[in-house]
Chain A
Amino acid sequence: MWTWFHRLASPPSFYTFAERLAPWLLAFALIATGYGLIAGLWFAPRDYQQGDAFRIIYVHVPAAALSLSLYTGMAIAAVIALVWRIKLAEVAITALAPVGASFTALALVTGMLWGKPMWGAYWVWDARLTSELVLLFLYLGVIGLDAAFADRRAAARACALLAIVGAVNVPIVKYSVEWWNSLHQTSTILKFGKPTITTDMALPLYGALLGAYALAGVSALRRMQNVLLLRERRATWVRELLAERAA
């Protein structure tokens, strides 16, 4: 187990592993997202309360779930990078930040487009919306910090610290709607107990969720490959790879 893990964490074998995995993950992402969106927009019944406006759930919930999952992943990579100094973990921080930032922005924008017709306002400063906005700034902070250092190891260490400090915000976003009064409603499916959504509405949502996770996975793998190529550009395996391509 440990030897397998160590071998995978070496840059050339991870590069090869990602190269093999990404196309399959992409195919799965397209199928699942396609099913989720088509079934959600077309075949799922309209909601008794919100009518067709509830269909925004099929993009809003996957985006919001990813914004938290990707940050959690980034914070775990940050702990590994700080304690074990594994290069691949440092690369993961750099690669996950832009993917997470894009899904956080998507969660905010789709939330605003959902809030206007249903709540009556694009934006309110309640605990959920405010903490999700803080999450976007944390992602942008990691991206900015990473770009500010010329030395890659120093950049990784600074980003790892920020990622760990910012992880405090993840449970706040998740539980804000239960701990405090908010305009945002509590969780429908990502909670303990029975989901409070009927099956014909929920299945497309699970499809869209799985699809978005796979798509974010592909994006993160590809970005990690790019960061590895750049950081290891003088290494033999990269030179060989480039020579192979040229031939």
Chain B
Amino acid sequence: MTRRQTRMIAVGGLILGLGLAAWLGFTAFSKNLMYFYTPSDVIDGRAPAHARMRLGGLVEKGSVARGDGLLVNFTLADCAKKVSVRYEGILPDLFREGQGIVATGHVDDGTFVAEEVLAKHDENYMPPELADSLKTDTGHSCMPFKPVAEPAKTAAAAS
């Protein structure tokens, strides 16, 4: 065997080993890499019960109710379940019904009390006239909100 072939095998082995280690690492830590829980996770008890966490979903159409001052109540939904949210504070510019939202807070008596609300916009870009003429609701897809339990399966279903 020439020295070049030895080096080729060594580098090949390095790449193979790295790939394997990376794959094992992701399988083990996949849950920790999830940025937020979904309403399904909260309802099905996969999310921490009283701890601070992030909840992501779509603002349900017709669910936004504004109260005194900056108080706002709305419902967050993924493809299956929904959770009602209470928030007092300034909403991002993109907040509207049908919009993807990631809220930080905790579950209190079945309601998610949010301290911070961030907007999660989608990957679609079009001029306003086209969005109007499409007439369909420009609400976002629920697909990006994957339950934490089976990330691989839902990701495969989405693609």
A interface residue numbers (CB < 8 A to B): 45-50, 54, 57, 79, 82-84, 117-121, 124-127, 161, 164-165, 167-168, 172, 176, 178-183, 185-188, 196-198, 200-201
Give the Cβ gap from A197 to chain B, nearest Cβ, in Å: 4
User: Which residue of chain A lies nearest to B7 when distances are taken between CB atoms in the complex?
Assistant: A83
Which of B119, B123, B148, B151 lies in contact with A120, CB distance below 8 A? B119
Residues on B with C-beta less than 8 A from A188 are 123-125
User: Which residue of chain A lies nearest to B15 when distances are taken between CB atoms in the complex?
Assistant: A164
Determine if B127 and A82 form an interchain contact, defined as CB atoms under 8 angstroms apart.
no
Within B1-51, the residues touching A (CB, 8 Å) are: 4, 7-8, 11, 14-15, 18-19, 22, 26, 30, 33-36, 38
Give the Cβ gap from A209 to chain B, nearest Cβ, in Å: 15
Give the Cβ gap from B117 to chain A, nearest Cβ, in Å: 7
Determine if A45 and B92 form an interchain contact, defined as CB atoms under 8 angstroms apart.
no
Give the Cβ gap from A59 to chain B, nearest Cβ, in Å: 15
| Binding site secondary structure of chain B | mixed
Determine if B11 and A79 form an interchain contact, defined as CB atoms under 8 angstroms apart.
yes
Residues on B with C-beta less than 8 A from A79 are 11, 15
Q: In whole angstroms, how far apart are the Cα atoms of A196 and B122 in the complex?
A: 10
Determine if A197 and B145 form an interchain contact, defined as CB atoms under 8 angstroms apart.
no
Q: In whole angstroms, how far apart are the Cα atoms of A119 and B30 in the complex?
A: 24
With A82-B11, A197-B126 in contact, is A118–B19 under 8 Å at CB? no
A-contact bits for B117-158, CB 8 A (1 contact / 0 none): 111111111111111100000100000111010011001001
- Name which of B11, B14, B18, B158 has the most chain A CB atoms within 10 A of its CB: B11
User: Which residue of chain A lies nearest to B41 when distances are taken between CB atoms in the complex?
Assistant: A181
Residues on A with C-beta less than 8 A from B144 are 181, 185-186
Determine if A164 and B146 form an interchain contact, defined as CB atoms under 8 angstroms apart.
no
Q: In whole angstroms, how far apart are the Cα atoms of A201 and B125 in the complex?
A: 8
A-contact bits for B94-125, CB 8 A (1 contact / 0 none): 10000000100000000000001111111111
Is B93's CB within 8 Å of the partner chain A? yes
Residues on B with C-beta less than 8 A from A50 are 94, 121, 125
With A178-B155, A180-B34, A197-B124 in contact, is A164–B11 under 8 Å at CB? yes
Q: Could you list 29 A-B pairs, sorted by A, with CB under 8 Å?
A: A45-B128, A49-B125, A49-B138, A50-B121, A79-B11, A118-B93, A119-B121, A120-B116, A120-B119, A124-B118, A127-B33, A164-B18, A167-B18, A168-B19, A179-B152, A179-B155, A180-B30, A180-B33, A181-B144, A181-B145, A181-B151, A182-B35, A185-B122, A186-B122, A186-B123, A197-B124, A197-B125, A197-B126, A201-B125
Determine if A119 and B119 form an interchain contact, defined as CB atoms under 8 angstroms apart.
yes
Determine if B128 and A198 form an interchain contact, defined as CB atoms under 8 angstroms apart.
no
- Name which of A117, A161, A183 has the most chain B CB atoms within 10 A of its CB: A183
Q: In whole angstroms, how far apart are the Cα atoms of A178 and B7 in the complex?
A: 35
Determine if A183 and B130 form an interchain contact, defined as CB atoms under 8 angstroms apart.
no
User: Which residue of chain B lies nearest to A166 when distances are taken between CB atoms in the complex?
Assistant: B18
Residues on A with C-beta less than 8 A from B26 are 172, 179
Residues on A with C-beta less than 8 A from B93 are 117-118, 120
Determine if B125 and A118 form an interchain contact, defined as CB atoms under 8 angstroms apart.
no
Give the Cβ gap from A126 to chain B, nearest Cβ, in Å: 4
Determine if B8 and A181 form an interchain contact, defined as CB atoms under 8 angstroms apart.
no
Determine if B125 and A198 form an interchain contact, defined as CB atoms under 8 angstroms apart.
yes
Give the Cβ gap from B46 to chain A, nearest Cβ, in Å: 13
Q: In whole angstroms, how far apart are the Cα atoms of A76 and B56 in the complex?
A: 38
With A168-B19, A168-B22 in contact, is A183–B120 under 8 Å at CB? yes
Give the Cβ gap from A230 to chain B, nearest Cβ, in Å: 26
Q: In whole angstroms, how far apart are the Cα atoms of A179 and B22 in the complex?
A: 14
Q: In whole angstroms, how far apart are the Cα atoms of A165 and B11 in the complex?
A: 11
